[in-house]
Structure 1
């Protein structure tokens, strides 16, 4: 479950449409995500959306403590993947959400 919610996995290892769909379903206000440190950016976009009315863990994995833990893990993975994500950013540009 942790890897399914990991921002880096959603933005680097999967197709761009998957990350865009996930963020659209969570009603984020983000327009795009840069590929460099995309996992951390993905998590900030999850926080920059409509709040969960119950304030509890739900199917969208936007439970605030989980997002902070995931951001830490994503930051480590994003740093390890910097050469690849810098190349992808220059070749493909940012991941468009809207």
Structure 2
């Protein structure tokens, strides 16, 4: 019973933090806000394989609390890679129609 509850908690934690869920199923402003909150150095991410890009951006953040996040991010990368492949036709369409997901906006030439 306890093992089932722990497994359920881990699965829900991974899915709520899943890069693909964050970038495909959420509003792009929410995904960008989540990455800004992590203080990532990424300026934008492509919509195609956006879950993997999201996870790489999380790993490309200051090392304040990365000890806990690295194993979770590595597990999430596997799940995101699978889910990103499943939603590939949709994300290719969105990439062509809308371009990258902008995390930090910079004025031209600046």
Q: Is 1:2 aligned to 2:19, yes or no?
A: no
1:3, distance to aligned residue in structure 2 (A): 1.2
Structure 2 counterpart of 1:73: 79
1:21 CA drift (Å):
0.5
Please state if 1:88 is matched with 2:94: yes
Once residues 81 and 50 of structure 2 are traced to their aligned partners in structure 1, the CA distance between those partners, rounded to angstroms, is: 9
C-alpha displacement of 1:52: 2.1
TM-score normalised according to structure 2 size: 0.80
Match of 1:60 in 2: none
In the other structure, the counterpart of 2:30 is: 18
How many pairs were matched up? 92
Q: Which has the higher contact order (CA 8 A, sep 6+)?
A: 1
Aligned to 2:47: 35
Task: Give the ranges of 4+ consecutive aligned residues of structure 1 lying more than 6 Å apart after TM superposition.
Answer: none
RMSD of equivalent CA atoms: 1.0
Q: What are the ranges of 5 or more consecutive residues in structure 1 without an aligned counterpart?
A: 58-62
Q: Note if contact 2:51-2:80 (Cα within 8 Å) is conserved in structure 1.
A: yes
